[in-house]
Chain A
Amino acid sequence: MSIAAQPKTVTLDHFTASGDELPLLRISTAGSVDDGKSTLIGRLLFDTKAILEDHLDDVKNSKVNRASRGIDLSLLTDGLRAEREQGITIDVAYRYFSTARRKFIVADTPGHEQYTRNMATGASTSDLAVILIDARKRFLEQSKRHAFISWLLGVRTLVFAINKMDLVDFSRQIFAQIREQSNTLLSLLDGVQVHFIPVSALDGDNIVTKSSRTPWYDGPPLLEILEAAQPGVDVTALPLRFPVQTVIRPDSDFRGFAGQIASGRLRVGEEVTALPGGQKSRVARIVTFDGDLDEAFAPMSVNLVLADERDIARGDMIVTASKEASQAQTVEATVVWMNEEPLVAGRSYLIHQGPRVVSARVSRILHRWDVEKLETRDTSSLSLNEIGVLEIEASEPLLFDPYRENRATGGFIVVHRISNLTLGAGLIERKSLNVSGRGPLLPEERLQLRGHSGAWVDLSQAHELIDAVERALLTEHLHVVRTEQPELRRFGLIVLTLGYHQGTPDVVVDRSDLHSAIVAIRASTILGALHVFGEREGI
């Protein structure tokens, strides 16, 4: 019997949601140790009636209770013995709940610095991060690190929950101060949607219903924000990416490439390219157990049959021929390091991009992030929980899109060759450039050699700050000049001007403090260079 003969067919409605089903929202928590993340999630679960009675009894009967009054809701997610004994979260807990409007998966992550890797695990798949801040404390480094990692990992909605408001008399001033303190960080994180809410996780203020104890707060409670939030980007609108997991060959007539569509849509007859080989073919069949489909989309798991015999194996990627993914052996990537043994330049590791496994060497570390100061620093190694930008040389081509463009194809994990441990998470920024060429420098080469893009900084309203600005930028090894020729920014220089000129400056420094001026300049140059490569070429 041949399977190819007379396949049964099925329509796409068999798989799609009915019209009123809102897409599931994945949420993760973040923040410093003891800020109240687990208590907040417990409160959310409790107030939406997602807790079963015997699970609640278990919490009530537990020998541990750290809550100053009532039941200790953090125990609803802190389920490990060590967690209850030490009163901290160690690993992510996944919880599921739904309201009349939508379904949620919550990842409650640890705040303790030692377990940052578990926080990153939770954030990697999340659409929205709730970042907790203890109202009695400042905006701490760990909260910054978590917000920053969440953003790096592609979380684009950040809800800052200023917690324990009951301990500061629901002070409007304190809320405003913390909000102010987060501005520096937020100026670096482009493309995010931000909310601030004053809450008490312990008492339930502004979690599910609006609190009467914060009359000055005019926003919605947390649950309403969660119900209304947009899940990240629509992956089905991105170009087709289909990493091949396995080849299914029941007999000589059938050869199917099985995998889960990572992004995009796919139609029978469509022209596709198999990477890394680059061979082209057409989609002949989209096979599922339920029947053949004419069309499929991410994240469906399907089995593709191509029109021509193609040598495709696990770890290859089938992509739309109209917009292929990048392939490169040398790439630049931001890496969050997750192991006690530091990452060292020159060392070799395995890289897993889902089913694709390649051997790779860290050829250099461009810099690491100082999360406290939000600046970059030179380094030759990355220690546990540090974040750096590396150049990686792989033994075979990596197949990718920049992580910022496609979360499903831009990430990788770093694996130890002998212990097999997962050592870090990487986010590919771009193909590394070869800068040893001749002739005029390309804008991207210049960007890479200088390490930042150019900018015109207009100091006409703040003459007195120019010396301090110049010093601060030189300390960071940035290419800065004082001249009245703003057009020099084209060559990757940071130009400080005092007079009036035609055109639009990148940064206008007014009489506010020096620090915010530096942050603004840095944001428009370093991060611009790091991430939005090419966007500023035109200047």
Chain B
Amino acid sequence: MSQSFVLSHLRALEAESIHILRETASQFCNPVLLYSIGKDSSVLVHLARKAFYPGKFPFPLLHIDTTYEYPEMIEFRDRFTNEIGAELRVYTNQDAINAGANPYNLGTAKCCHLLRTSALVAGLREGNYDAAIGGGRRDEEKSRAKERVFSFRDRAGRWEPRNQRPELWNFYNGAVNPGESIRVFPLSNWTEIDVWRYIELENIPVVPLYFAKPREVIVRGQTLIPLQSNVKLLSGEQPEMICCRMRTLGCTPCSGAIRSEAGTTRSIIEEIISFRRSERENRLIDHDQEGSMELKKREGYF
């Protein structure tokens, strides 16, 4: 039988991401992997383990904790990072929290700015990181579709989408001066389906919130908000038991669940194939105004 020399789609994506991760480890003095606990982070960590095998895991993980995350996420984070022997660093914008920042009286846009964007920029500055690896994918959102794999940030952590470094072939120019940094996106060319197929293929652990089961939720407009300690009921709202799952993870007040029966990776893949709407739709923060993701990104959001 003649051997075929064509990589499968997932293995080609894997090889590309490994190449990007190795470039990151080689080109920077102090890189960090932004760990958001979500499925993309799980895939990213898995790929980084592969990239440096049999060497040790080369990047510390940085989690920007808004303190509004689902408790299941924090449990998962601690167990997962411990299992793979990675170093976990957690950063919270404590000043803002102390000053009373929360989504209920500030609105989601402002809260997100303080607890995610500013916290991220401050966390990266505090750690003096020259590269931050994130799980962003180009298929997620229209401004992400425009972003480089190695995406330059100036001293203030800002992205300038009108003036990005040309990025030819698989040559990633990560040269920076002190204070400047690069955001690295090894999953740029993956789609949501690719991520789930890869999770299935490689048996990668993800937070149980992704899998459907009956949960107590509040139905608010089009979204289901799982009943968690932090969620405040508006007048007239009653919790209901609904079989649902999260398509993306974020803070409790901002990321809703979807009605779903998909309790396994396989059934999630089938469900996504049938979906006609994007995963970010249930993230309230992405839709505050036209181009809101781009504005957040320019300020330093991932």
Co-complex (A, B): yes
Give the Cβ gap from A422 to chain B, nearest Cβ, in Å.
5
Which one of A115-123, A163-171, A202-210, A488-496 contacts B? A115-123
Which one of B170-178, B227-235, B242-250 contacts A? B170-178
The residue of chain A having its C-beta at the shortest distance from the C-beta of B298 within the complex is A81
A359 to B175, CA, bound (A): 14
The residue of chain B having its C-beta at the shortest distance from the C-beta of A264 within the complex is B5
Q: Are the C-beta atoms of B161 and A288 separated by less than 8 Å?
A: no
Q: Are the C-beta atoms of B4 and A19 separated by less than 8 Å?
A: yes
Q: Out of A16, A120, A250, which one reaches B8, CB within 8 Å?
A: A16
State whether the Cβ of B261 lies closer than 8 Å to any Cβ in chain A: no
Please tell me the number of chain A residues within 8 Å of chain B, measured between CB atoms: 82
Interface size class of B (residues with CB under 8 A): 35 or more
Within 8 A of B (CB), among A246-266: 246, 248-250, 254, 256, 258-260, 265
Within 8 A of A (CB), among B127-173: 138-139, 141-143, 145-146, 161-162, 164-171, 173
Interface flags for B5-25 (1: CB within 8 Å of A; 0: not) read 111110110111011001101
State whether the Cβ of B281 lies closer than 8 Å to any Cβ in chain A: yes
Q: Are the C-beta atoms of B53 and A303 separated by less than 8 Å?
A: yes
Which one of B33-41, B69-77, B116-124, B270-278 contacts A? B270-278
Chain A residues with CB under 8 A of B161: 80, 82, 90-91
Chain B residues with CB under 8 A of A303: 53
Q: Are the C-beta atoms of B16 and A16 separated by less than 8 Å?
A: no
State whether the Cβ of A136 lies closer than 8 Å to any Cβ in chain B: no
A472 to B278, CA, bound (A): 60
Interface of B, helix, strand, loop or mixed by DSSP: loop
Q: Are the C-beta atoms of B171 and A413 separated by less than 8 Å?
A: yes
A to B contact number (C-beta, < 8 Å):
195
State whether the Cβ of A280 lies closer than 8 Å to any Cβ in chain B: no
Q: Are the C-beta atoms of B142 and A354 separated by less than 8 Å?
A: no
* Chain A residues packing against B (C-beta within 8 Å): 3, 12, 15-19, 21, 23-24, 52-55, 58, 61-63, 76-77, 79-82, 84, 90-96, 103, 105, 117-118, 120-121, 124-125, 153, 234, 236, 245-246, 248-250, 254, 256, 258-260, 265, 287-290, 295, 297, 299-301, 303, 314, 338, 350, 352-355, 407-408, 411-413, 415, 419-422, 425
Supply 18 further A-B pairs (C-beta < 8 A) apart from A23-B6, A52-B278, A354-B169: A17-B4, A19-B4, A52-B275, A54-B281, A58-B290, A62-B290, A80-B162, A80-B294, A81-B291, A84-B290, A90-B162, A95-B145, A245-B26, A259-B19, A260-B16, A299-B7, A411-B171, A422-B167
For the complex of A and B, 8 pairs with smallest distance between CB atoms: A79-B142, A420-B175, A301-B18, A289-B50, A124-B168, A289-B53, A236-B5, A81-B291
Query: What are 19 A-B pairs with beta-carbon distances under 8 A?
Result: A19-B4, A23-B6, A58-B290, A63-B290, A79-B141, A80-B146, A90-B162, A94-B138, A94-B188, A124-B169, A125-B168, A245-B22, A259-B22, A260-B15, A295-B3, A301-B15, A411-B171, A422-B167, A425-B166
